[in-house]
Amino acid sequence: MKMLENEIITTKNVHLYYGQKEALKGINLNFKEKGIHALIGPSGCGKSTYLRTLNRMNDMIDNVKITGDIQLNGQDVYDEKMDLVELRTRVGMVFQQPNPFPFSIYDNVTYGLKMAGVKDKNILDEAVETSLKKAAIWDEVKDDLKKNALALSGGQQQRICIARLLANSPEVILLDEPTSALDPISTDKVEEMLLTLKDDYTCIMVTHNMQQASRISDTTSFFLDGNLIESDTTKTMFLNPKEKQTIDYLSGKFG
Ligand SMILES: Nc1ncnc2c1ncn2[C@@H]1O[C@H](COP(=O)(O)OP(=O)(O)OP(=O)(O)O)[C@@H](O)[C@H]1O
């Protein structure tokens, strides 16, 4: 498929089956580089399933069949030669429940680099500082990098997970309801951080929270029952949606 300028991910006619169940029914959706792209829709409509197709996280589930075309910077994500470790580094993922490793903050952030063979302490130190700064948590933890990441608050843990991912220089960051397990203050901090990150990274985020989508995303895509109903700039989606199903959903008639 030909990619338009600035498009980092293109998905064409993507179907996904869990056994007999068709969870995605032919999704055509492309993402421009950078910015925050929200995926919204009622529970069970396929948002998380779709998100996971982008870095092949569904491959780990038994009995899954995927058809269609997904490209990352013009490369076929489902090519049999695709290295999955590399793919998941290039397309990193943040989950609903923060999942830091049970090690120190420092070891969490340097984990990927060490796995990749980086041993130079100066390089590791610098990566820790840069990544924690980008994840807006440096000031809170800089004097305590040996502390176990599990001893931090949920919101801090989520930002450590994002720093861990940033240290590996991802091209795309997938976020699956990254703040739904957090209190409002921690949610604000994560949202503020995403608003900074979006200048350098492409962030694709599933959210149940319509206010969150309207507050921080640049584009919004509305899913319903395995179909993509509508995708547009967030402003247009919320102020002037075109499809009746979108209008009904945004006005709270279902979901
Ligand atoms: N591992 C699985 N095996 C079988 N069916 C699944 C699996 N994961 C999801 N499904 C089904 O696929 C459909 C889409 O689920 P998915 O989790 O993608 O929806 P969602 O929009 O992200 O929902 P939620 O907002 O509740 O997380 C649902 O009907 C769900 O039950």
pLDDT in the model for residue 255: 75
Tell which one of 45, 61, 66, 223 to mutate to probe ligand 1, the residue whose CB is within 8 A of the most ligand atoms: 45
Query: Pick from 127, 155, 125: which is nearest to 140 by CA?
Result: 155
Residue 68, classed as helix, strand or coil, is strand
Question: Helix or strand or coil: residue 82?
Answer: coil
Q: What residue segments make up the domains of the chain, in order of their start?
A: 7-250
pLDDT band at 60 (very low <50, low <70, confident <90, very high): confident
Answer yes or no: is pLDDT of 2 > 60. Answer: no
- Percentage of residues in the chain with pLDDT exceeding 70? 98
Single-letter amino acid code for the residue at 221: S
Contact call for residues 141 and 153 (beta carbons, < 8 A) = no
Q: What is the pLDDT of residue 3?
A: 54
User: What ipTM score was computed for the predicted complex, to two decimals?
Assistant: 0.97
Ligand 1, atom 29, residue with closest C-alpha = 44
Q: Which pLDDT does position 195 carry in this prediction?
A: 96
CA dist 159 and 153 (Å) reads: 10
Joined together, the tokens standing for residue 131 give: 């990544």
Decide: helix, strand or coil at residue 52: helix
Per-residue pLDDT of 239-248, as tens digits, reads 999 999 999 9
What does the pLDDT look like over 204-254, one tens digit per residue? 999 999 999 999 999 999 999 999 999 999 999 999 999 999 999 999 887
φ/ψ of 60, rounded to 5, equals: -80, -10
Residue 57 Cα to ligand 1 middle (Å) = 13
Task: Mark out the alpha helices in 66-143 (DSSP H runs).
Answer: 84-90, 105-115, 121-134, 138-141
Q: Ligand 1 pocket by C-beta < 6 Å: which residues?
A: 18, 21, 23, 41, 43-49, 61, 208
> Is CATH 3.40.50.300 the right assignment for the domain spanning 7-250?
yes
pLDDT digits (tens, 9 = 90+) for 62-84: 999 999 999 999 999 999 999 99
What's the token pair of residue 176? Answer: 């699956």
